[in-house]
Amino acid sequence: MPSPDTDAQARRPEQPQREERAHRILDAAAELILRWGYDKTTIDDVARSAGVAKGTIYLHWKSREALFAALLRRDRVAMLEQVRNAVAGPGGVTPRDLYRHLALALMARPLVRAALLGDTEVLGKLIRQKPKVQTVEAVRSLAGIYLTTLREHGAIREDLTPVEQVNMISATMYGFFVITPQMPEEYQVSGERLADLLAETLHRALDSGRTLSPEQSAAITRATLAYLDRGLGLARDRLHLSLTTSDMGKDYVR
């Protein structure tokens, strides 16, 4: 028999000012983690930088890890929303558009990128102790489903298995994000151009080359948007868990 108090607290909608404070804290955390890395970013720093007391942070999240999980989740939602908005126009959406805007959005979100790439420089112990990043696994799985759908609509080639294609996509994206920033001066290419290059590479590697009927194109647009919305929905759910008082990040397995 649950106590009425707890239930009331759990159901109480997040007050706007409280949510605003949560975001202020996350903003501070984002800046600090990008400048100093996870290991060297303390709760005290975050509190001071956000203009709140340390205890206040624990009114929002139950641990340091939960706070940073919320931060990553927020950034992930923002990233996906950026992609969603970018492809939101009236015309059709091709897988290639998705690749390109995904690349652009990832380039603009160092934290999501770090999580996806397993960058220990930024994420430190958050990654080192649990190399099993569940996010990456989920992304792979979703990608596999998306590829299968595209395949059914004749958009991508069928002489490679989805598993092989997931390998190919993972490798190519990883390589682009890790290597291109390390290239010497004279090989540097602008971010816009890199996104084009990456999209082009994936497109050429995956595309069936068939000319699609308007119906097929429409189906692919729908599938692409559905895929994006599905990811966005999952990401929003996770973020919601991280921002809701009743949960406070308990779902974040240590």
Report if residue 200 touches its own copies, rule: CB under 8 A: yes
Report if residue 174 touches its own copies, rule: CB under 8 A: yes
Report if residue 172 touches its own copies, rule: CB under 8 A: yes
Please, what's the b/e burial string for 22-41 (b: 16 or more CB within 10 A of its CB; e: otherwise)?
beebbebbbebbeeebbeeb
Report if residue 156 touches its own copies, rule: CB under 8 A: no
DSSP state of 158: S
The one among 64, 76, 100, 153 contacting DNA by CB under 7 A: 64
Q: How far is the CB of 253 from DNA (least distance, A)?
A: 13
The one among 49, 56, 170, 201 contacting DNA by CB under 7 A: 56
Report if residue 166 touches its own copies, rule: CB under 8 A: yes
Report if residue 43 touches DNA, rule: CB under 7 A: yes
174 binds, among DNA, its own copies, none (CB under 5 to 8 A by kind): its own copies
One DSSP character per residue, 32-56 reads HHHHH-STT--HHHHHHHHTS-HHH
Report if residue 208 touches its own copies, rule: CB under 8 A: no
Q: How far is the CB of 14 from its own copies (least distance, A)?
A: 37
User: What is d(CA 241, CA 221) in angstroms, rounded to the nearest whole number?
Assistant: 30
Q: How far is the CB of 172 from its own copies (least distance, A)?
A: 5
Instruction: State which residue, 16 or 89, has the beta carbon closest to DNA.
Output: 16
Determine contact, residues 235/76, Cβ cutoff 8 Å.
Answer: yes
Report if residue 184 touches its own copies, rule: CB under 8 A: yes
Contact map string, positions 114 to 133, toward DNA, x by CB under 7 A: -----------x--------
Judged by CB under 8 A, the number of residues near its own copies is 31
> Is residue 156 classed as helix, strand or coil in its secondary structure?
strand
C-alpha neighbours within 13 Å on the C-beta side of residue 254: 5
> Is residue 77 classed as helix, strand or coil in its secondary structure?
helix
Determine contact, residues 249/70, Cβ cutoff 8 Å.
Answer: yes
Determine contact, residues 115/72, Cβ cutoff 8 Å.
Answer: yes
240 binds, among DNA, its own copies, none (CB under 5 to 8 A by kind): none
Task: Give the interface segment with DNA, choosing from 46-54, 76-84, 103-111, 140-148 (CB under 7 A).
Answer: 46-54
Q: Considering only CA atoms, which of 109, 116, 113 is closest in space to residue 134?
A: 116
The one among 54, 130, 210, 250 contacting DNA by CB under 7 A: 54
Let me know if 186 is exposed, middle or buried by CB neighbors in 10 A (0-12, 13-18, 19+): exposed
The set of residues, in sequence order, having a beta carbon less than 8 Å from that of 73 and lying 6+ positions away, is: 235, 238, 239, 242
Contact residues: DNA, CB under 7 A: 18, 21, 39-44, 52-56, 58-59, 62-65, 125
